[in-house]
Structure 1
Amino acid sequence: MNSESSSTTTSAISCVKCTEGDGSFFRLENTKLAGYCIKCFPKVIQHKFASSLGRNRVFKTPEQRNALLIFSTNKQLESLQLLKLTFKAISGPEDHRILKLNAKLEKFSNLISNCLSPSVRIELLRLIRTKLLANYAAYFNFPSVLLSENADQLATETINSLCFGRGSSIFDISSVIDDRLSTNSLPFVNHSIQFIRPLRDISYKELEALDRIESCENIEENGINARINGIIKEENSVQSLAKDFIESLRDNGFPATISTILSVSSKIESERNGQICTLCFGRFQREEEEIKNKSCLFLLKICHPCLSIFEDIENEGINLLQEIVNL
């Protein structure tokens, strides 16, 4: 009996915010001796969400508040919490509509199935999704696109980008604001478009704890494309290996792994010179000799990392990918 009471006493800690509640509800990763109580924790997450938007002055003009909110419909945790945090921050009588995209699934499935490598398939899915969202935002005049990537996903994406030779783009890929698409930077961009990641400083563990408080049901972790239209299941790919590597470091005594990766990526200067790749939106420069040797002008529009994707796609899929690049 005494041993049980003593263990309970040692496990209980005060909330670092209110100093009165039980801080053992959510213990900070860098130290197990501090944490937040169940009442203060949602306020902390809401503050992180608002701070990431306010610190970067995301909605500084009325025009920028006309934002496209991207979320998944299969009950993924990040999407649900992005919706909740956004709607809590919005006031006013406006109607909010959920817009659905009807893609040409047969062509899309053919393109994905023509990729020889699972790593390239997953990377191509990411690029096509970003390109589709940019086209959609341009067509409907949305200056801002809100995405649901959390800190864990962005840290993994940073490692993935390095593996695919996109080191000069990791600042834009992992930051709160990706503003590479300025007016007329590409033919379809008729106004500046920003990709915004308000959950960038919030970890999956924090979202999971917030979800426990709000009692949502049937939540699925947004992993590395575990299943997409029945085509891709989780495979032995660069993306899944990077995810496992980061998680193993975090779970084996290095809790600051994710925040360290994002901190380093935020210090890398983004490339702003040269032409913009029509597939990944990264900046690149071509040598004059290389331009002369290219028989297909279409290939001059994409960067070297994206060219390597073409090399991994069988002939039937090349034409389909050209259609996407030329959108």
Structure 2
Amino acid sequence: MCQVDEEFSVCLEKTPVPTVSKKCMKCKENTAVLIIRVGDAFCRECFKEYFLHKFRAMLGKNRVIFPGEKVLLAVSGGPASISMLTQVQEGLSRNALKKLRFVPGIIYIDEGGACGQNAEEREKTLSQLETIFRKTGFPYYMVSLEQVFGLPDSTLEPVSCGPERPGSSYKEAVDRYIQQKELEQKLGELAVEETQNAVDLLSVQASRVPLEHSLALEKLFSSLKTLTAKDDMLQTLRQHLILHTARLNGYSKVMMGDSCTRLAIKLLTTISLGRGAAVAADTGFSDARYGDVVIVRPMRDYSSKEIAFYNRLFGVQSLFIPGLDTRAPEKASIQRLAESFVIRLQADFPSTVSTIYRTSEKLHTARPLQTSTAEPSAKCLLCLCAVHNKADAASAFHATVISEQLSRGQFREEARTDQVPQGPFGTPGASCCQGEGQSCGGGGCCTTERTPVLPDLNTLLCYSCRLTIKDMAAVDSLPRYITSEAERRRRRALLKEQVSEFLLEDGEEEQE
């Protein structure tokens, strides 16, 4: 028990609080101007060298980007993506110690139509970003989210990774790149004016959005009931636009500006949304789910604090662009709640983000997900991750599936479809007319104006995307390329079912 008159013979020592008046931990000479972590004090010059080295070390350690490849930088205008753009500029400059050897391009997805911005705010943001992009000298593509309704039907079709590079050695690729550069210097550089004119044309085309696409985007997001579903759908459509732009312009790699803090939040969000099987692909350094286009995250070792310090010290200009969850309460969505949880926990326990991040590093994707040789139906229709919809009998997932089928009356629908006349290969909805030249009329089955029936999407989606579609009031508001791919997969599965008895399974020998 404490005594009122108790005397302490030993004086209590006060723990010194770290200050910026101490010396730099690296050079031991200059005065530190910032403290990243407890005991990690840097001066201005050493911090810049440390920041640049971490970016190039991440690319050099993984060796995913080969010399001469076209890499598309996905820039959202935030601190992390703008800092990534600055790192690429530093690495491609003539004074760089270890110069980067890829060909960069920039893409910006204008999400103002889904976030409720008016035309003036969107135009102002585009002009500010265009000023930043022009200073880099890289080709840039400013794409509005409304253009997702104009994507071709082949956007979600599986694409193979292609043959391996000749030699399959990184050092041999570097030698070939150096020889090619020396040859280009002897022959002379190409003119830059044609490239700049093409870039200007692209930016003008991106600013013209058809009215029907704007109305379709508004209808799509108004049909989503929760902010969680809206945020998930926005991320999916953004990835589809980036994928299409990369393929259209010959980019084989896409750089995302996800920081360590953002990936820690994304890991908890992904697990909370039921996408635990795709955590490694969503948070890892490389993501090869799309086959010919690989997603890389070179900023995954930087915390948001380091990025903020770098942008402030070296005058890196970033923009604040309102999103779907701007000014939303903490419990408005799962994404917002996970972000608030991680940020508040990080303030009290500085090792929170690094602990979550190191956990994600230990996860790896399965081999069928890294290549696109898998069956198309084995991948989710929206996120293109692996689908695990095989439910065992007497399991909780099987009970959920049965309940959904009973609530929709699917069994009664299947009973009615059995009475529909069958066409070739047993496809329903074939012509019910017996003679040639006869027609049902009045919008019957023989008319070409009949609206195609949207197939059941649950069998084509992963658990997380199924919950997103479940929150939609009108499924027919999805873009056409998604419904077309769903119909194509349904027909493929139906045809496979008809000829399955004539096929040999893997490892099965034909009996005489």
- TM-score category of the 2 structures, normalised to the smaller one: 0.7 to 0.9
- CA shift, 1:217, in A, is 5.0
**How much has 1:278 moved relative to structure 2?**
2.5
Pick from 480, 484, 494 the counterpart of residue 323 of structure 1.
480
- Partner of 1:180: helix, strand, or coil? coil
2:24 paired residue number = 15
Shift of 1:37: 0.8
% identity of equivalent residues: 22
For structure 2, the residue ranges without an aligned partner over 5 or more in a row are 1-15, 95-102, 104-136, 148-212, 369-373, 393-397, 415-454, 486-512
Look up the equivalent residue of 1:99 and give its one-letter code. Y
Structure-2 residue corresponding to 1:26: 34
CA RMSD of aligned residues (A): 3.0
Q: Counterpart of 1:27 in structure 2: which amino acid?
A: I
Q: In 2, Cα distance between the equivalents of 1:61 and 1:8?
A: 47
Where does the alignment leave 5 or more consecutive residues of structure 1 unmatched?
Answer: 1-6, 183-191
TM superposition score normalised by structure 2: 0.53
Aligned to 2:313: 213
CA offsets per residue over residues 42-100 of structure 1, 9 Å max, x none? 111111111111111022243xx20111112xx421222111111111258x8521112
**SS of corresponding position for 1:195:** strand
CA offsets 1:161-193 (integer angstroms, 9 cap, x no match): 0011011111111112111222xxxxxxxxx21
**d(CA) in 1 for partners of 2:31, 2:472:** 55
What is the rounded CA distance, in whole Å, between the counterparts of 1:320 and 1:213 in structure 2? 46
Match in the other structure for 1:71: 75
Matched with 1:278 is: 381
Residues 106 and 120 from structure 1, CA distance in 2 versus in 1: closer, same or farther, beyond 3 angstroms?
A: same
CA distance in 1, matches of 2:90, 2:218: 37
TM-score (normalised: structure 1): 0.81
For residues 216 and 34 of structure 1, do their structure 2 counterparts lie closer, same or farther at Cα, with a shift above 3 Å needed? closer
1:97 to 139, 145, 150: 139
1:240 alignment counterpart: 336
Would you say 1:153 and 2:162 are equivalent positions? no
Deviates more, 1:274-283 or 1:206-215: 274-283
Q: Distance in 2 between matches of 1:27 and 1:288?
A: 52
Q: Which amino acid aligns with 1:261?
A: I
| Cα distance change on mapping 1:238 and 1:297 into 2, 3 Å | closer
Q: CA deviation at 1:209?
A: 0.6
1:248-287 equivalences under 5 Å are 248-252=344-348, 254-273=349-368, 275-287=378-390
Separation in structure 2 between the aligned mates of residue 10 and residue 71 of structure 1, nearest angstrom: 35
Structure 1 partner of 2:226? 117
Would you say the 8 A contact 1:117–1:312 is kept in 2?
yes
Stretch moving more, 263-272 or 117-126: 263-272
Superposed displacement of residue 131, structure 1:
2.0
Cα deviation per residue 1:24-45 (whole Å; 9 max; x = unaligned)?
x22132x2x3311111111111
Change in Cα spacing, 1:18 to 1:285, as seen in structure 2 (3 Å) is same
Change (3 A) 1:8 1:265: closer
Q: Hey, what does 1:187 align to over in structure 2? A: none
Contact 1:168 1:271 in 2 (8 A): no
CA shift in 2, pair 1:233/1:271, >3 Å: farther
Q: Whole-Å Cα distance in 2 between the matches of residues 209 and 135 of structure 1? A: 34
Q: Say if 1:233 and 1:141 are closer, same or farther in 2 by CA, change over 3 A.
A: farther
Q: Match of 1:194, as an amino acid?
A: V
Deviation at 1:219, TM superposition (A): 4.5
**Would you say 1:311 and 2:319 are equivalent positions?**
no
Larger gyration radius, structure 1 or structure 2: 2
Contact 2:20 2:35 in 1 (8 A): no
Query: Partners of 2:70 and 2:391 in 1: how far apart?
Result: 42
